[in-house]
Amino acid sequence: MIFNSIEFAIFLPIVYCIYWFLLKGRTNWQNAFIILSGFVFYGWWDWRFLFLLLFTALVDYFIGRSLGVVESIKKRKLLLTISVLCNIGLLGFFKYYNFFVDSFVSAFRFFGYQPTTDSLQLILPVGISFYTFQSLGYSIDAYRRKLQPEKNVITFLGFVSFFPQLLAGPIERATNMLPQFRKERKFDYNQSVDGLKQVLWGLFKKVVIADNCASWVNMAFDNPHAYNGTTLFVAALLFAFQIYGDFSGYSDMACGIARLFGFQYMQNFNYPYFSRTISEFWRRWHISLSTWFRDYVYFPLGGSAGSMAKTIRNTMIIFLVSGFWHGANWTYIAWGAINGLYFLPGLISRSNRKYLDIIGNSGRISTIEWARMLFTFFLTTMAWIYFRARSIQEANAIVYEILFNNKWQLPQFMPTAVFAGIAILLLIEWMGRRNPYPIQHFFVNSPTPVRWGFYCLICLSIYFFGGREQTFIYFQF
Amino acid sequence: MIQKFLLRTGFFLGILTSIIVVCLLAGTILSKQRAHFKVTAPHKKILAIGNSHVTYALNEKILDNLLNFGSDGEAYFYSYTKAKKLLEANPEIRYLLIGFSNNMIRNSIQRWYEDETFISHHLPKYVNWMDVEDLKLIYSENPKAVIMATAKFIAFDLKAVSTGKFPINEWGGPGILTNQLSDSVVKNTNNAMNLYETGIHSVNLRYLKKIIEMAKSKNVQPVLVRTPVHALYKVDNEQDLQHVYRNNFADLPFLDFQHFPLADSCFADYDHLNKNGAELFSRALKAELKKIVD
């Protein structure tokens, strides 16, 4: 089930009403109902993979409980190893098995051998990268004694299977979510209104921006040789907004829906395209994944505590792993590597923590800041080409065509209506960039008809200008 | 507080729904008032309908007494409404040329009804003039897609205000393909395989019959035509087509050009003619039509 579907529009109010009317004040029952609704939501796609979700969650639950009582360091390490092996093993098998087999075969063929191997016809369980990481994060935190392991299996299963974040994040932390699952939830009118507004904004980004960009992007990236450099650049720009609208739209919807049920998620996107450096971009893009890798991989590797060479090594590892996390394809690894290389100048010059605040938050924006913002966006857009292209060869060809063989002819397509939508998106995001989502405080002090008129306008633009229903890009990860 | 929240949300959704319903009704009324189906070409005696085979194969300059209203990916279900309205408004039309190709009767045509893309593309063009029975049918096939297409209904109706040829300017017409079937594609015979589901599609056949009955009731002579396809275009339901013709339409003329000899350079792909092919075929068709048209 996806958020932008009629099925979900029916599912959500039913779950909401049962949750608040029938189960109000009964936290454990509400959590049990969250599990049930999560299973329906996930099983709508393919019920067989519910067992995988259940297995991952139960393994980490029991390991967490054991970590709560076992004191021996050796045994604790063993327990953590089991959790890592189970989670990463499942992820590796379902997501990367064929990739490794094919890569080994290619490598052997390069040296003249002809190995016989079997690729499996595996279906990638949707959202597996998200829920395994969330569950694994809990085990690591329990191992590090950062949290009190959860004893109530219902509470823990609720945390793993809560449907808003189940398929595409945010990859929530147990330290943030478990306390919320334990305490009694009280209905908060303002929080619910806020949640609905965030859902609305997320839906706008997904349906009006991302879905409308998708058809043009697909056209160009499915047959890049048919287009000139200018057109490919237009397609790359559109993809930059497609992936942003798609993924941040999903995150906004997830955060908004969670709020409707009385939960507070972390902010997953913080206006990344207004970043002035690549390091700032990575503090604002897919924050839950970046911080996951930072806390559970980068810091254990030594972080930036050692020599500069080690810091560079650790940084590159993080970017490569992050790229690989996205998919079993060399294009994602290349995308990670490119972003890692982008990141290095700031790291070496120790200026990577220069812009911690959103642009224009403290005073006038200088010309240099504008230029940096545009340049950062350009770099990001060029890197997205590797993310979207079907192969590295095709990505290289597209980049070559755009940068080195571009005669800047007229583009073969120019979807002006889509760009108008993007301009509106950017304008609204710019105006509301100091808030967790841009329309949070729009017209809050205006009379109801004005405020509702604004919301109606967004709803109608979704209705009239929404692209064809498309699944979310990040479901495949 | 939760009651207040639900009431206000419900009230907001009610306002929103009302706006949409008002737009939908206003659009329907407006488009029905503005619509006209009269073709300003009294010398045209033949109306041609069908899918893209018809669109790209019939050259109106050569077939000067013919109106080409073929439309890409259009099933007989939609063509029925189109033919009905055009024949009603243009009594000078005496012949109805209906594209009758193998893919139009096979079961795989089902996606031309139920697929969301096809519904959102075709339904808005015809919805205001469809019979209730037809609307019920399409709704039962894919209610979700029909609901999703309502936005397109309104957008389409808004065109009623801005154009003088509404809605027939959206109902199809001749098209020109300029590309040629390349040698490499011709050699790759796998591309020519027709791998769709076989069997006769009952709904499309029913609507073909409805079109023919409707034409006869208006004293219009129906004529079936099959446009040329490339020799490598594998047709695996020929028996079905012949069976359908013999059992249902044996009394109608069937101008079968499936094997009309044309060079590779006359095809845009295996089953569509390009500009050159359309010219050659249209001349041949004109000669055949002369035998039928008085």
pLDDT tens digit sequence for A426-440: 999 999 999 999 999
Q: Closest chain A residue to B116 measured between Cα atoms?
A: A468
Q: For the sheet containing B221-226, what is the strand order?
A: B66-68, B46-49, B95-99, B221-226, B254-256
The predicted structure's pLDDT at residue A387: 95
**Whole-number pLDDT of residue A93:** 84
β-bridge pairing B66-68 and B95-99: unpaired
Q: What are phi and psi of A359, to 5 degrees?
A: -55, 135
Mean pLDDT over each residue of chain B, to the nearest integer: 87
CA nearest to A459 within chain B: B16
What contacts A435, CB < 8 A, 6 or more positions away? A441
Helices in B190-274 by DSSP H: which ranges? 202-217, 238-248
Task: Give the residue-averaged pLDDT of B248-257.
Answer: 93
pLDDT at A311 over 80: yes
The predicted structure's pLDDT at residue B28: 87
Q: In A, which residues are within 8 Å of B147 by CB distance?
A: 6
| Chain B: closest CA distance from residue A354 (Å) | 43
pLDDT class for B39, splitting at 50, 70, 90?
Answer: confident
pLDDT of residue B191: 47
Please give the backbone phi and psi of residue A271, each rounded to the nearest 5 degrees, phi first: 55, 60
| B111 or A299: which leads in pLDDT | A299
The yes-or-no answer on residue A286 being catalytic is: no
pLDDT at B1 over 80: yes
Q: How far apart are CA B27 and CA B33, in angstroms?
A: 10
Chain A contacts of B4, Cβ < 8 Å?
Answer: 189
Cβ-based contacts of B117 with chain A (< 8 Å) = 468
Nearest Cα neighbor of A79 from A68, A91, A67 is A67
Q: Which residue has the higher pLDDT, B116 or A203?
A: A203
Q: Identify the residue whose tokens are 């509702």.
A: A452
Is a pLDDT exceeding 90 seen at residue A394? Answer: yes
User: Cβ contacts (< 8 Å) between B15 and chain A: which residues?
Assistant: 452, 456
pLDDT band at A49 (very low <50, low <70, confident <90, very high): confident
Q: How many CB pairs lie under 8 A apart between chains A and B?
A: 40
Q: Does B4 touch chain A (CB under 8 A)?
A: yes
Residue A361 confidence class, pLDDT cut points 50, 70, 90: confident
Least confident residue range of B19-28, B151-160, B283-292: B151-160
pLDDT score of B193: 44
Contact B155/A at CB under 8 A: yes
The reported pLDDT for the residue numbered A409 is: 86
Task: Indicate if the pLDDT at residue B240 is higher than 70.
Answer: yes
pLDDT-derived band of residue A475, with 50, 70 and 90 as boundaries? Answer: low
Question: What pLDDT shows up at residue B8?
Answer: 94
Q: Which of B6, B144, B154 has its CB closest to that of A6?
A: B144
CA distance B24 to chain A (A): 12
- In angstroms, what separates the C-alpha of A185 from chain B's closest C-alpha? 13
- Residue B103 DSSP SS3: helix
Q: Is B16 in Cβ contact with A456 (below 8 Å)?
A: yes
Least confident of A139-153, A428-442, B100-114, B194-208: B194-208
Mean pLDDT score, A265-284: 95
pLDDT at B187: 54
Architecture of domain B45-106+165-292: 3-Layer(aba) Sandwich (3.40)
Share of chain A above pLDDT 90, in %: 70
- Rounded distance, CA A214 to CA A388, Å? 11
Instruction: Say yes or no to pLDDT of B192 above 50.
Output: no
Q: Write down the residue that tokens 């959206």 correspond to.
A: B170
Instruction: Give the pLDDT of residue A362.
Output: 78
In this complex, do B148 and A6 lie within 8 Å of one another by their Cβ atoms? Answer: yes
pLDDT at B207: 94
Which residue's entry shows tokens 């945010």?
A170
Confidence band of B38 (pLDDT split at 50, 70, 90): confident
Instruction: Identify which of A58-62, B32-36, B38-42 has the greatest average pLDDT.
Output: A58-62
CA-based nearest distance B16→chain A, Å:
6
CB contacts, 8 Å: A30 with chain B = none
- Give start and end residues of each alpha helix (H) in A124-228: 128-143, 153-161, 163-166, 174-182, 189-203, 211-222
Of A299, A248, A292, nearest to A131 (Cα)?
A: A292
Predicted confidence (pLDDT) at residue A91 exceeds the cutoff of 90: no
A82 Cβ contact partners less than 8 Å away, ≥ 6 residues apart: A59, A63
Of residues B5, B120, B151, nearest to A463 (C-beta): B151
Indicate if ipTM > 0.85: no
pLDDT in tens, B204-214: 999 999 999 99
Cα-only R_g, chain A: 23
Q: Is the pLDDT of residue B279 over 60?
A: yes
Q: Is B5 on the interface with A (CB under 8 A)?
A: yes
% pLDDT > 70, chain A: 94
Distances in whole angstroms, Cα of residue A200 to Cα of each of A15, A264, A435, A454, A461:
18, 17, 15, 11, 11
